[in-house]
Structure 1
Amino acid sequence: MCRSFSWTGKSGITRKAPVAWRKVCAHKKQGGLNVMAMAEWNEAHMIRLLWNLMGHLAKDCRIEKKVEETTNLTLEAEANEGFLLMAQNEINTNDNVWYLDSGASNHMCGHKHLFKEMRKIEDGNVSFGDASKMKVKGKGTIRYLQKDGLIGSIQDVYYVPNLKTNILSLGQLTEKELQVEARTSSSLDKEIEAKLKLLNKPAVKSIKSEDGDIIDCVNIYKQPAFDHPVLKNHTIKPIPSFLLDYEPSSVRGTPNASSQVFQLWQKSGSCPKDTVPIRRIQKKDLLRAYSLERFGRKPPYVHSTTNNTNPNFTNLGVTDDYINLQNRSNAYLSTYGYNFIGASASINIWNPNVEKKGDFTTAQIWLKANNGDNFESVEAGWMRDSYHTTGCFDVTCAGFVHVGSSTALGATVGPYSSQFNQQYEIAIGIYWDEDGNWWLNIKNGTVIGYWPAELLGNLRHSATVVQWGGQVYSDKVKKAPPHTSTQMGSGDSADGRFGFACYMSNVRIKDYSGFHKYPEFVNTNADEPYCYNAINDVEYGKFPVFYFGGLGRKPPYCP
């Protein structure tokens, strides 16, 4: 599902967040506690398991076998030596139960139907301490149903047909630079409740949306923006008159496209005057998040010291100062200058696939100031991620002052486009005022709010770069295969054009002249052109239409 977002941020250093665990059983053994856990997880930088440190003793588990009966296993396939604890005991034959084992060096599963893909292994064996063996038949990716109803995956799992239990290797997880932190479930519950109390503000009215969201109508001066210490005594600014005179959708729309886009919660009610609609953060959102500490914040931009991609410039004018950003793959149209004070576009809405938690894909507008590690940006568009809000795409973190009562940032937007069917688009504009604030407005002149000047540096004067396009965030981009299958735009390449590829029309900038106009010089760029590409479609006598997107992983072009 697609969600609207806005964000402001400065680049910084990425820090891995701790992980919580969820208990199923724990067995005492010589040398310490052998932890087994069942829960929701993913193969990203973080995993989400919840574990009660107290656990259960062996006598409390579903089996009555003594712990001393457990044996160590050694994997002999592919020259990998693997150690597996407790695999012979039929602790639980439910194929949805996974046990975390600190002594196992490989993930293993005996349920073939769980594998999404598998590579055969010849002459692979698992050897027990009593010299008995089980055959290893393959290695691949497991699919599983998460508690939230989404499909997750576990990679590099050995298929052992006679194995009765599913094993997660703690060693294999930590080799992938996962960080694990154990805490009691009671302390986690307290931390979550405290976080919810901090994030959610008292509501004058609450609206239940058909998609499960709850929209709280919050007093305009009680919104999260005022949690920021710089904004404690901030007075809400009046809407600039130029925003009331100009609508982003007033320029010519794309032929055969509809701008009749709405948010689902609006079908269930509206917020009263002097309140702003804010999507309520629920406990399930925090449980699905990869970090309580960073919830409400977009992953920071981090520049890579090396550039292992091949930038593909197709240009109407200037060239790009290419910067390689870690974990991000972009395809965009850009223009450079010294006095941009506004930008807008009509953005085609799709519902692309996202591979796993922590990933997201956007179609958006960026306005930036400064270069390198010190740049600032304000951004707006639509986003698709795997579990609702990934970061600071709404008003969860203080920094955006909401003034409109009709649109909730972070709430579901629709309908979305599909191939051979109606195309939908939303007009978005970001504009500077003389006090240094940047205002966000959408279709029909609806003003949502603004980024206050007090929180900005050089951006309070003007932007030097404007970009329109898409971004995929994943730890599996710009690296050795396999690439992420998270899609950009519609999931089709830009070559598909209208009805197939995601587009932006009515691309405009505003400078100190006060006029809205197509940029004099633009440049298209794709970080990974074989995975996601960009085309600026120029027809004589017409304003260009910018197309972008891609499937992500698609061997052999994007392995």
Structure 2
Amino acid sequence: MATKFMTMPSRQPRNLVLFLISIRIMFGLSHAVGEWQAISEEEDMEMERQLSVINKPPIMSFETEFGDILDCIDIYKQHAFDHPLLKDHIVQTSPKNLPKSEGESPRLLPENIKCPPGSVLIKRTTKQDLIMANRLKPSGLNHPHQVPMEPKKGYAFATARYYSHNFGARTIMNVWRPEVASDQASLASLWIANGPLDKLNVLQAGWVVEPLLFSSNYTRLYTHWTVDNYKTTGCVNYLCPGFVQVHREITLGIVLNQISVYKGKQVDIEIAILRDGEWWLKLYNQFIGYWPQKLFYYMYGGANYVMWGGHVISPSNKPSPAMGNGHFPRDYNSSAYFKQTQIWDNVHLVYPLSDRLEPVMTVPACYYAAVIDGIAPGGSANLYYVAECGRRIEQKRN
């Protein structure tokens, strides 16, 4: 069928809380982004080859007001099945035993952006996406596991981690659009992990402002995965085979255009990564797709680690970007947060106990996390994480 392009407006109309981040900081994070050089003719040809593999022939396509092309791809012809472990994989269209959220999910795209049955909606990868992904590798959107060891140069994070056996977690985070330079990134994520450090298996999901990868300062839904601590495996969204898309109206990389207002209306998204045979990604009450269990070496029996938090990437000699909204936490309307975070024990969603939660920061003078106790509905622990940064200061990492 011929490709169909449309230009359509895209307007989107208890109790664990992690107040993430704060004001931008003025010390320079060590250089993490390599020199940008023009690509060679050979590199250009290789990227054209990669794009022909990643972007499958669409049944129909849509163009958003943000310049993204969204393709409807035959569900069995998507890039996920180019992975050698997934050649004979049978698509699971929905989980069987996972809890459903109450209420309606807000629409993230116009109603007429919907793929026909048997196909799925996937954001088209561009040559610029590949260039930026390659340049991002030296810094990466990595799992912040290094503390208390020396953190990787070029980035900082403020998080809280939970060490206990689990089959995933869910959380609600408010959405922000921090200002970042073209070679910086700021994000808020949920991480699920297991395995030894050199072969760490990680699943990651949240929102990101990442011009290096997306060539824009929009806030976008993103995921990341790896089975060897980000050395050679895994990728962001659909840039490599692995994630199996099943949804016809929501795609990874989508622009989250409704943004929280400082001391005003807060815009939340609910994110979950839950195991039910496969590792499912859930946005609000919609299951977007999954990472097949067979991709992971150390996640067959679940995971042993969950983390929530913020993460920034910046080269040296630049003010590092804000996490969240860049302001001190004062109340729910003036802070970046995670709330209602729960652990999936393979039967129920449960609130983690406060003594099992550990704030973890690389630069606590500027990006800080803390735990505040309370009472949640049903008598469960109500846990608050707070992260903030001092006023604009000059500071070098020791």
Asked if structure 2 preserves the Cα contact closer than 8 Å seen for 1:355 and 1:484, the reply is no
Question: Partner residue of 1:554?
Answer: 392
Question: Partner residue of 1:393?
Answer: 236
Q: Distance in 2 between matches of 1:49 and 1:413?
A: 31
Question: Partner residue of 1:274?
Answer: 118
Query: Aligned residues: percent identity?
Result: 28
Question: Partner residue of 1:194?
Answer: 49
Q: CA deviation at 1:290?
A: 6.0
Do the aligned partners of residues 557 and 491 (structure 1) sit closer, same or farther apart at CA in structure 2, a change above 3 Å counting? same
Do the aligned partners of residues 471 and 198 (structure 1) sit closer, same or farther apart at CA in structure 2, a change above 3 Å counting? same
Q: How does 1:149-168 map to 2 (within 5 A)?
A: none
Indicate the structure whose relative CO is greater, using CA pairs within 8 Å and at least 6 residues apart: 2
Q: Distance in 1 between matches of 2:181 and 2:388?
A: 15
Do the aligned partners of residues 500 and 411 (structure 1) sit closer, same or farther apart at CA in structure 2, a change above 3 Å counting? same
Q: Which residue among 340, 349, 360 is the counterpart of 1:525?
A: 360
Look up the equivalent residue of 2:50 and give its one-letter code. Answer: K
Q: Distance in 2 between matches of 1:224 and 1:298?
A: 22
Question: Partner residue of 2:162?
Answer: 335
Do the aligned partners of residues 238 and 284 (structure 1) sit closer, same or farther apart at CA in structure 2, a change above 3 Å counting? closer
Question: Partner residue of 1:376?
Answer: 201
Look up the equivalent residue of 1:518 and give its one-letter code. Answer: Y
RMSD: 3.1
Number of equivalenced pairs: 343
Q: CA deviation at 1:389?
A: 3.5
Question: Partner residue of 1:486?
Answer: 321
Do the aligned partners of residues 486 and 335 (structure 1) sit closer, same or farther apart at CA in structure 2, a change above 3 Å counting? same
Q: Distance in 2 between matches of 1:456 and 1:271?
A: 30
1:414 aligns with 2:257: yes
CA-to-partner distance for each residue in 1:110-169, whole Å, 9 max, x for gaps?
xxxxxxxxxxxxxxxxxxxxxxxxxxxxxxxxxxxxxxxxxxxxxxxxxxxxxxxxxxxx
SS at match of 1:464: strand
Question: Partner residue of 2:171?
Answer: 345
Question: Partner residue of 1:246?
Answer: 100
Question: Partner residue of 2:227?
Answer: none
CA-to-partner distance for each residue in 1:223-269, whole Å, 9 max, x for gaps?
111111111111112422223x422x67xxxxxxxx97543x44552
Q: CA deviation at 1:502?
A: 0.7
CA-to-partner distance for each residue in 1:177-222, whole Å, 9 max, x for gaps?
xxxxx735xx454333223212211111101101100100111011
Do the aligned partners of residues 382 and 226 (structure 1) sit closer, same or farther apart at CA in structure 2, a change above 3 Å counting? same
Q: Distance in 2 between matches of 1:421 and 1:340?
A: 35
1:441 aligns with 2:282: yes
Q: Distance in 1 between matches of 2:33 and 2:68?
A: 27
Q: Which one has a bigger Cα radius of gyration?
A: 1
Larger strand proportion of the pair: 1
Look up the equivalent residue of 1:191 and give its one-letter code. Answer: E
Q: Distance in 1 between matches of 2:388 and 2:112?
A: 33
Question: Partner residue of 1:450?
Answer: 290
Do the aligned partners of residues 485 and 262 (structure 1) sit closer, same or farther apart at CA in structure 2, a change above 3 Å counting? farther
Q: How does 1:358-373 map to 2 (within 5 A)?
A: 359-373=184-198
Do the aligned partners of residues 376 and 475 (structure 1) sit closer, same or farther apart at CA in structure 2, a change above 3 Å counting? farther
Q: Distance in 2 between matches of 1:404 and 1:361?
A: 27
1:355 aligns with 2:195: no
Asked if structure 2 preserves the Cα contact closer than 8 Å seen for 1:261 and 1:426, the reply is no
Asked if structure 1 preserves the Cα contact closer than 8 Å seen for 2:144 and 2:157, the reply is no
TM-score in terms of structure 1 length: 0.56
Q: Distance in 2 between matches of 1:260 and 1:558?
A: 44
Look up the equivalent residue of 2:249 and give its one-letter code. Answer: S
Q: CA deviation at 1:285?
A: 3.5
Question: Partner residue of 1:474?
Answer: 314
Do the aligned partners of residues 294 and 199 (structure 1) sit closer, same or farther apart at CA in structure 2, a change above 3 Å counting? farther
Unaligned 5+ segments in structure 2 are 1-30, 216-223, 225-234
Do the aligned partners of residues 292 and 538 (structure 1) sit closer, same or farther apart at CA in structure 2, a change above 3 Å counting? closer
Asked if structure 1 preserves the Cα contact closer than 8 Å seen for 2:135 and 2:212, the reply is no
Asked if structure 2 preserves the Cα contact closer than 8 Å seen for 1:536 and 1:547, the reply is yes
Look up the equivalent residue of 1:332 and give its one-letter code. Answer: T
Question: Partner residue of 1:183?
Answer: 40
Q: How does 1:99-118 map to 2 (within 5 A)?
A: none
SS at match of 2:129: helix
Question: Partner residue of 2:266?
Answer: 423
1:224 aligns with 2:58: no
CA-to-partner distance for each residue in 1:514-533, whole Å, 9 max, x for gaps?
22111022121221112211
Question: Partner residue of 1:111?
Answer: none
CA-to-partner distance for each residue in 1:2-25, whole Å, 9 max, x for gaps?
xxxxxxxxxxxxxxxxxxxxxxxx
Question: Partner residue of 2:384?
Answer: 545
Asked if structure 2 preserves the Cα contact closer than 8 Å seen for 1:488 and 1:550, the reply is no
Do the aligned partners of residues 234 and 290 (structure 1) sit closer, same or farther apart at CA in structure 2, a change above 3 Å counting? closer
1:324 aligns with 2:324: no
Asked if structure 1 preserves the Cα contact closer than 8 Å seen for 2:143 and 2:191, the reply is no
Question: Partner residue of 1:48?
Answer: 36
Q: CA deviation at 1:376?
A: 1.1
CA-to-partner distance for each residue in 1:480-525, whole Å, 9 max, x for gaps?
xx464222122224x334222210110100224x221110221212
Q: CA deviation at 1:354?
A: 1.7
Unaligned 5+ segments in structure 1 are 1-42, 51-181, 251-258, 305-310, 312-320, 477-481
